[in-house]
């Protein structure tokens, strides 16, 4: 094994060559403070029906339980801010879902990343994750010096805002950790809190997930939404970007350069009427490689069915 300084340089060079926008490193230690915050959040029921968040609690806060002998946690950011926007009047789709499913794209890139590190450095034990395992990726990103967690719960970078996917690679590789990001640059700004249609953003950077539009349009599996929130969807049919769209730091967002995230034409252009008339077969064909498939045809029909006629072009 090469010494940590050289290994660290190799890691960061490889990350950039594979198209990751930012790379940070933290020591693989238990996240004791995060464990207490997560436990409190779960006890208040802010996860709604997302019972999977209650499982594997110990693994979420201790990287050594995911990778025995873990020494370093590498955090990678991948920009997804699009150069194209949806046509006016179309049901709102969160920008992260414009193109190919990021799980598929980034998982392949993480595997290549680990393979290339093994070729250059030697035998490495490691596991890569992208929103697919009990990993507190935003906490690791902050510890890795990449940014701070904003009042809207998103990781925010000073350079380009918050439209990033976060990938995590836990490894037994001995690396030099970056300094943690210690400052919060949200200041007294409350734009995200004021703009949230369902008042899901609470003080102290707490998000009531059970009130979030993304929860209602993606995670909630019931055939009907609670009436008190159905009227507050603000035309969103899959996810919600409101808290990011109003964030002043996102004026620095730049279009991504990932071909796989090129928007699906239907996402940008389908009217509410066209969505409502879509068959399940067509839905499955169009979105078989898209994050939108997660809500399934029935969920999407429920979501677009809640859009009021006067709000968008029919």
User: Which residues are part of the catalytic machinery?
Assistant: 131
Nearest to 228 by CA among 203, 273, 197: 197
* Contact predicate 153/201, CB 8 Å: yes
CA 306 from centre of chain: 25
**Gap between the Cα atoms of 230 and 20, Å rounded:** 38
User: Distance (Å, rounded) from C-alpha 157 to C-alpha 160?
Assistant: 6
Confirm if 213 and 240 have CB atoms less than 8 A apart. yes
Beta-strand relationship, 155-156 and 92-93: unpaired
**Range list of H helices, 179-279:** 191-195, 213-214, 227-230, 242-245, 265-269, 272-276
CA distance 201 to 39: 18
Q: Classify the C-alpha dihedral 291-297-301-303 as positive or negative.
A: negative
Gap between the Cα atoms of 96 and 79, Å rounded: 9
Rounded Cα distance between 7 and 24, Å, is 13
φ, ψ of residue 75 to 5 degrees: the values are: -110, 130
Residue 164: alpha-carbon gap to chain centroid = 7
């Amino acid at each position: 094994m090469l010494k940590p300084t050289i290994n660290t340089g190799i890691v960061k060079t490889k990350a950039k060559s594979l198209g990751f926008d930012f790379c940070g490193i933290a020591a693989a230690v238990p996240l004791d403070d995060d464990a207490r915050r997560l436990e409190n959040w779960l006890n208040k029921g802010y996860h709604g029906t997302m019972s999977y968040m209650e499982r594997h609690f110990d693994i979420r806060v201790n990287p050594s339980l995911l990778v025995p002998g873990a020494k370093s946690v590498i955090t990678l950011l991948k920009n997804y801010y699009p150069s194209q926007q949806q046509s006016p009047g179309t049901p709102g789709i969160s920008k992260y879902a414009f193109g190919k499913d990021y799980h598929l794209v980034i998982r392949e890139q993480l595997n290549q990343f680990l393979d290339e590190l093994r070729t250059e450095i030697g035998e490495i034990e490691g596991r890569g994750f992208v929103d697919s395992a009990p990993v507190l990726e935003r906490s690791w990103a902050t510890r890795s010096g990449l940014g701070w967690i904003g009042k809207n719960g998103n990781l925010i970078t000073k350079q380009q805002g918050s439209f990033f996917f976060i990938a995590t690679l836990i490894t037994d590789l001995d690396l030099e950790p970056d300094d943690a990001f210690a400052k919060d640059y949200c200041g007294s700004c409350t734009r995200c809190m004021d703009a949230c249609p369902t008042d899901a953003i609470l003080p102290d950077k707490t998000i009531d997930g059970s009130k979030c539009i993304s929860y209602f349009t993606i995670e909630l599996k019931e055939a009907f939404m609670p009436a008190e929130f159905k009227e507050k969807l603000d035309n969103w049919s899959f996810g919600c970007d409101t808290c990011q769209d109003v964030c002043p730091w996102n004026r620095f967002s730049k279009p991504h350069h990932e071909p796989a995230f090129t928007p699906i034409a239907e996402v940008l252009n389908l009217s509410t009427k066209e969505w409502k008339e879509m068959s399940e077969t067509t839905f499955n064909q169009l979105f078989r490689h898209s994050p939108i498939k997660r809500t399934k045809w029935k969920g999407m029909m429920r979501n677009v069915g809640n859009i009021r006629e006067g709000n968008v072009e029919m």
